[in-house]
Amino acid sequence: MAASRYVRVTAIIGAVVVLPLAACGGTGQKNSVGDTVSRAAHGDITTPGGARRLSGDQSKSLSANISDAKAKNIILLIGDGMGDSEITIARNYEKGAAGAFDGIDALPLTGQYTTYALHKDGKPNYVTDSAASATGWSTGVKTYNGALGIDIKGAKHGTILEMAKAQGFATGDVTTSEIQDATPAALFSHISERDCYGPEEMAQDCKAETLENGGPGSVTEQMLTARPDITLGGGFETFKQTATAGDYKGKTLEVQAKERGYQIVRTATELAAVTKADKDSPVLGLFSDGNMPVSWTGGPAVRQGYLQPASKCTDNPKHTADVPKLADMTQKAIDVLSTNQAGKDKGFFLQVEGASIDKRDHAADPCGQIGETVDLDAAVSKALDFARKDGNTLVILTADHGHTSQIVEEYSEDDLRALSEDSKQPIERVRDVMYPGLTRVLTTADNAPMVVSYGTSADVGVEDETHTGTQVRLAAYGPRAGNVAGLTDQTDLFVTMTDALGIDRNAK
């Protein structure tokens, strides 16, 4: 696997090389758009200038990447829980300190956006969950943690996917989580509790919103009604539930999907065979009962894990050949959306989520989260490959919130004993002070140790590490990419994307 290879960056490449690219604007006009960038260091990081990632002034490069032309397509890629620390950890491990990701680090225009949610009284909740954050960019409205597609008063707000579909665009929703999970569900559902996946959960936690009570129904039922052209991820287990009201009362959600014309695919082979997906015959890929298995595995961080030998990550045997990679799902979605009639006539909106960066961060599992970040990078590369050729696609990369993992200083046992002697504190006390959370040491692509620490929980074996309230990276390439620069908010992204596609946000 790529993670086990030692990577030495020697090519002298910088960020100011601009390759002209013909781009068709919404009116058919040709526009000059700059290329993506390389951020790998110049060469030997031990020599003067060797660690530089620029080879000169980048003003012309940045200018060449700014265009106010309308975009025909948008590909929005989300790294769930992928704060700057998670990106750095993954880059160090896979590419080395001087290396760069081919996708994540190649987007030329970058900024940050704020991620806070709201309490129901309107005051800021500084640490968001994925539901409130995704509602921000999908509807332009801030809400409370746990809510999808509604504001703090419970009022429904249309999503970018719903608007795009209603106004003639092809639409897609890809994730490595259950398709009912917060980030993918924010594109098509309006509900007070994100966990109301199916009729069974609705009966317990969302009774007022059930179909029999005149509500919109469960997250899954709302997805079947919203009808994106292609929806890929996990979550098949919920489709075994039975509808309790409506036109499909007494039938399982799987049967309902088939009767409504969905093509259901369950394996990578079946996905590869798909040649068409549109409003008449949408594709529903369900590749696992729950969340899709992660690509890499390794031991979790533990108390005083810094004392264990440094280790490498390995392939997860549960991620078999029957399970498609995120990059493969992204490519398939791009292929069918760009070639179906709506995509050709009007364009498409596609959201792609690397979901388990967050989930493995919660579990203090560095190899799990690193592998998912590497997989997301491959998906970003697929999006950029298409955008470079197409010339009229806006690619955006961001996260929904920050998370807990970070790189901390390495202390040897001799260092800690010296601190113990100097402070006249027991060695056990010094260890707890210097490493209060969970740690694990990994050997990076530089063949160097990296201590990854999780500091928001000291519990071992419990998915209890928490989100953080930091602003997160926002990066883009293509028409309107300049609108991600500087400091914005998640709700700004909704306006940026709808404006880029020329969507009428007031249309009924």
- Residue 83 is part of a domain; what is its CATH number? 3.40.720.10
pLDDT of residue 232 exceeding 50 = yes
Domain count, the chain: 1
For residue 401, being part of any structural domain is answered with yes
Find the domain containing 457 and state its range.
Answer: 2-501
- Mind giving me the DSSP string for 111-157? EEEE--EE-TTS-EESS--HHHHHHHHHHS----TT-BSB-TT--B-
Q: What is the Cα–Cα distance from 284 to 329, expressed in whole angstroms?
A: 12
Task: Clarify whether 130 is annotated catalytic.
Answer: yes
Place of tokens 């760009």: 338
pLDDT of residue 432: 82
- Residues of the chain above pLDDT 90, percent: 83
Q: Interior CA angle at 27 toward 24 and 30, to 5°?
A: 35
For residue 433, being part of any structural domain is answered with yes
Token readout for 399 is 């996260």
Q: What is the per-residue pLDDT across 432-461, written as a single tens digit (0 to 9) for each? A: 888 888 999 999 999 999 999 998 877 655
Amino acid found at 33: V
For residue 507, being part of any structural domain is answered with no
For residue 422, being part of any structural domain is answered with yes
For residue 349, being part of any structural domain is answered with yes
For residue 123, being part of any structural domain is answered with yes
For residue 378, being part of any structural domain is answered with yes
For residue 506, being part of any structural domain is answered with no
Token readout for 154 is 């419970």
pLDDT of residue 370 exceeding 50 = yes
Residue 56's alpha-carbon distances to 14, 37, 52, 53, 61, in angstroms, are 8, 13, 10, 9, 10
Cross-strand bridge partners of residue 405: 454
Q: What is the per-residue pLDDT across 164-216, written as a single tens digit (0 to 9) for each? A: 999 999 999 999 999 999 999 999 999 999 999 999 999 999 999 999 999 99
pLDDT of residue 261 exceeding 70 = yes
**Measured in whole angstroms, how far is the alpha carbon of residue 456 from the centre of its chain?**
22
Pick the catalytic residue from 61, 130, 138, 189: 130
Q: Between helices 366-390 and 84-95, what is the axis angle to 10°?
A: 90
pLDDT of residue 461: 56
**pTM of the predicted model over 0.85:** yes
Cβ proximity of 423 and 484 under 8 Å: no
Q: pLDDT band at residue 10, thresholds of 50, 70 and 90?
A: very low
Residue 258's alpha-carbon distances to 224, 234, 245, 279, 283, in angstroms, are 10, 17, 18, 14, 10
